[in-house]
Amino acid sequence: MSNGQYTPESAAATPARAPLDAARLTARLRTLGYADVDVVRVTGSTNSDLCNRTEAPNGTVLIAEEQSQGRGRLNRAWSAPAFSQVIVSASFLLPGVPSNRLGLVSLLAGVSIAEGLRKSAGVEATLKWPNDVLVDARKLVGILVEAPHVGDVSRVVVGFGVNYDLTTSELPVPHATSVALETTRSQAAGVNSEEPAPELASREDIIVAILLRLQEDMERFRTMGGAPQTFLSRYKKLSTTLGTTVKVMLPGDSVMEGTAVDIAEDGQLIVDTGGSRTSVSAGDVVHLRPGGATSDNHYANSPENSANTNETQGEAGRD
């Protein structure tokens, strides 16, 4: 840092990283109603583990310090140092919610996680359709929602990975970020401010804030039979995709460009291509700057992030 300005070198040193206090975190989550909580040192994939636990009760949570087989949409691999991320999966039972509404959970989860981060970490988290969590076009969180088949009761597993204290040299791509980097940027921007400098939130506080918001939103979604009205207006307020010129890479290698104008009640992105409007249910979305340059990178680190029915996302997927 020099002259109060943020520079990559200011966060270049690898931080000393400590494990979560599993007993304390478990106790805090149980007070929120999460009765079955496991915190593990390493696993292949938290989402895969929970999907395979067919008898998991509502509100089961699995938290890992590291994943050896982290996966994103289209099975894109990713990895990060131990203790450098928030890696969580939570299983929810949704009796009464039709299976054709489960794809909406991908968008709902984005809202819950972005709002939880705003409250706990003080970052200006926003959403790129369908549920990439960004800060100033830099990807902070990847989300994977899966819907394993369990009899007649709808069930979803919501997995998310937050880049916590990754340094600039550890980021998978330049357009990713971490909570620590954003906190440093805020501190640098506020050098001459009378406001107190923000402090780096703990991983524990971030997990608790996100899971509290997610639990509240999932319960409301369940009691209203999967109605999008439970979260869609909040989603639109957080969206940086709406009103933006976008390039959509569709299945089959076709490409569409236009202006994102709305989010439909089924979660599809509505794109105005100049005279006609097209609904997009699946595809990689890139925000374009004037002249066609990209303003973000859809291959940013995406810890656990996709969904279709078996992966509820794809139809409203993510990177």
Q: What is the pLDDT of residues 93-115, one digit of tens each?
A: 999 999 999 999 999 999 999 99
Q: What is the mean pLDDT of the chain?
A: 85
Q: What is the pLDDT of residues 137-172, one digit of tens each?
A: 999 999 999 999 777 889 999 999 999 999 999 998
Say yes or no: 12 and 81 in one domain. Answer: yes
Asked if residue 1 belongs to a domain, the reply is no
* CATH code of the domain covering residue 107: 3.30.930.10
CA–CA gap between residue 43 and residue 40 (Å, rounded): 7
Say yes or no: 272 and 170 in one domain. Answer: no
Q: pTM of the predicted model, to two decimals?
A: 0.86
Cα dihedral value 165, 85, 108, 236, nearest 10: 20
Q: What is the pLDDT of residues 238-282, one digit of tens each?
A: 999 999 999 998 888 889 999 999 999 999 999 999 989 999 998
Asked if residue 293 belongs to a domain, the reply is no
| pLDDT tier for residue 316 given thresholds of 50, 70 and 90 | very low
Check residue 307 and give its pLDDT: 34
Say yes or no: 146 and 281 in one domain. Answer: no
Would the pLDDT of 216 be above 70?
Answer: yes
Check residue 65 and give its pLDDT: 97
| Degrees, nearest 5: CA angle 172-119-194 | 95
What six digits make up the tokens of 38? 């496991």
* CATH code of the domain covering residue 251: 2.30.30.100
Say yes or no: 171 and 93 in one domain. Answer: yes
Number of domains present in the structure of the chain: 2
Say yes or no: 118 and 168 in one domain. Answer: yes
Check residue 191 and give its pLDDT: 54
- Residue range of the domain that includes 272: 241-287
For 260, phi and psi rounded to 5 degrees?
-75, 120
Would the pLDDT of 303 be above 50?
Answer: no
Asked if residue 157 belongs to a domain, the reply is yes
